[in-house]
Amino acid sequence: MTDALRIAAKALGFALVLFLLLPFVALALTLSAGDYTAAVDRGLWEALLLSLGSTTIAAAVLVLSGTPLAWWLARRSGWLARRIEGLVRLPAVTPPAVAGVALLAAFGRAGLFGEALSEAGIGIPFTLAAVVLAQLFVAAPFFVLPVADAFREVDDELLWTARSLGTGPAAVFFRVVLPMSAPTFVGGLAMAWARALGEFGATLVFAGNLPGVTQTLPIAIYTEMEGDLGPARVMALVLLGFALLLFAALRTARVERVLGKRT
Amino acid sequence: MLEARVTVRQGEFLLEAELTCRGTTVVMGPNGAGKSTLLRALLGAVRPEAGRIVYGREILFDDARAIDKPPEERGIAYVPQGYGLFPHLDVLDNVMFGIRRGRRQERIVHALSILEDLEVRELARRRPSELSGGEQQRVALARAVASSPRVLLLDEPLSALDQAARPRVRRFLADWLRGTRLRTVLVTHDASDARELADELVVLEGGQVVQRGTPDAIAFRPTTEFVAALTAGLIERDHRSVPPPGMLTEDE
């Protein structure tokens, strides 16, 4: 009886592995030679460039604003900090389409700040800025929350020790806190970046589908799905390839070594 | 000379302590007496409600004059419980952490010579996680010394060690402290540490100084029962001076 149970458990687990693997294999196997040129004709590289460019900007903004926020969250335990941490978690459980509608409600022409923004000559929806904002919105929790956890792991005593050795608070952050948290920092950034790269729903609602302006690779794939599946499959493979490449690059960049080394 | 008079309030707990440090001053007391809080006030990690901390003529803290120097400007190197070595740096980089003057090559030479003094030069390229407790302590002392401090703060320097290693490391620390010219404030709850390490002993209980003096003087003339119990270990086994008649406790 227990043997049967064990075999059944193994079979179920293995079935899941097969299920996860099969679509990737199918994606590669169903390609034909003409699909690639068709995909290029349909703006594959343009969309990829837009995806890479916008996610790079979103990742940079996320690091610059998310790192201080994570540090603040890590050093505070009060009511306000817990509420703000909950707020940062919210986009991770918000359906992307809802995120898009919410972003429109805030920054759209008829939105909360729409009038003020348009008076200032700023129009966000259906621009590259909207693409970046949508990516930032959905990706933020994947970076801020794990990094805050890693910062929490750094013992206060270590920080005071470093200060007592003649190092100011900012230098202590860059020479002790950041290097000690580097693996999580890099891992969180990779997850956030991958999430931004795959962003679809919020971008479509908030930024639209304008080739060369807001049509990122996931949206280009969606657009192709309405016609021939061939180019869509090529685009999907390219997107997958870049996501994996990005992940591998960040993982092997040995950032912890670079940060850990003294100047 | 380091002189401090501080009042620190943390919730219900009130610490009122005075301390003078010419050589090695050991602050002794039970858990919760406020020993570590006192160290943190000297360090600048805790801001006293009132008081004054002075090194020579230099004021490090004075509430009346609104002077509160940050830790990095006090010249007081801190070695926390468990030694606080930076886990992401090897031994040499740990020691170099506090050396600011000179080119990199000069700083390396300086750090290596300090490690040599503490007889742990061969550990230079090891990670803290690969060291024994005694080795970690020597590296932590080397790192503290390398920052050229005027005062050294040691929080329970022997508590992280297992029982077997403690006497040997304590002896090393005692010899080393006698050899160095640094003023040292050391916190412990262990009477053996006080006996071997202290020039002057300050006994803290419930946030108040209950007695101060040389270890012998305190052991032979405890002013409270608490101090007598706490310092009973000071006069066991090791009779460096003859106790005055009638001053011994019953179990002696």
What average pLDDT does range B73-81 have in this prediction? 94
What average pLDDT does range A100-120 have in this prediction? 87
Nearest chain A residue to B97, by CA: A165
Whether the Cβ atoms of residue B15 and residue B42 lie closer than 8 Å to each other: no
For residue A138, with 0-12 CB atoms within 10 Å meaning exposed, 13-18 middle and 19 or more buried, which class applies? buried
Please provide the average confidence, as pLDDT, over all residues in chain B.
87
The SS3 call for residue B6 is strand
For residue B221, with 0-12 CB atoms within 10 Å meaning exposed, 13-18 middle and 19 or more buried, which class applies? middle
Q: Choosing among A165, A181, A261, which should be mutated to test the B contact, i.e. which has the most B CBs within 10 A?
A: A165
Is B26 a residue whose pLDDT tops 90? yes
Is B251 a residue whose pLDDT tops 70? no
Residue ranges of the domains in chain B?
A: 2-238
Give this complex's ipTM: 0.88
User: In the structure, what pLDDT confidence band is assigned to residue B234 with cuts at 50, 70 and 90?
Assistant: low
Q: Which of A161, A175, A256 sits opposite B80 (nearest CB)?
A: A161
Q: Which of A167, A169, A262 sits opposite B93 (nearest CB)?
A: A262
Q: Which of B88, B93, B143 sits opposite A165 (nearest CB)?
A: B143
Is B243 a residue whose pLDDT tops 50? no
3-state helix, strand, coil in chain A (%, to 5): 80, 0, 20
User: In the structure, what pLDDT confidence band is assigned to residue B250 with cuts at 50, 70 and 90?
Assistant: very low
- Give percent above pLDDT 90 in chain A: 68
- Specify the pTM: 0.85
User: In the structure, what pLDDT confidence band is assigned to residue A202 with cuts at 50, 70 and 90?
Assistant: very high
What average pLDDT does range B136-140 have in this prediction? 93
User: In the structure, what pLDDT confidence band is assigned to residue A123 with cuts at 50, 70 and 90?
Assistant: confident
What average pLDDT does range A196-211 have in this prediction? 92
φ/ψ of residue B82, rounded to 5:
80, 0
Contacts of B137 (CB under 8 A, 6+ apart): B79, B83, B157, B160, B161, B169, B173
Residue B228's pLDDT is 81
What average pLDDT does range A80-88 have in this prediction? 95
Distance from CA of B189 to the nearest CA of A (A): 19
Residue A16's pLDDT is 97
Angle at Cα A38 formed by Cα A36 and Cα A39, nearest 5°?
65
Class of domain B2-238: alpha beta
What average pLDDT does range B88-99 have in this prediction? 94
What average pLDDT does range B11-32 have in this prediction? 91
Q: What is the pLDDT of residues A14-54, one digit of tens each?
A: 999 999 999 989 988 888 888 888 888 888 999 999 999 99
3-state secondary structure A152-210: HHCCHHHHHHHHHCCCCHHHHHHHHHHHHHHHHHHHHHHHHHHHHHCCCHHHHHHHCCC
Is A138 a residue whose pLDDT tops 90? yes
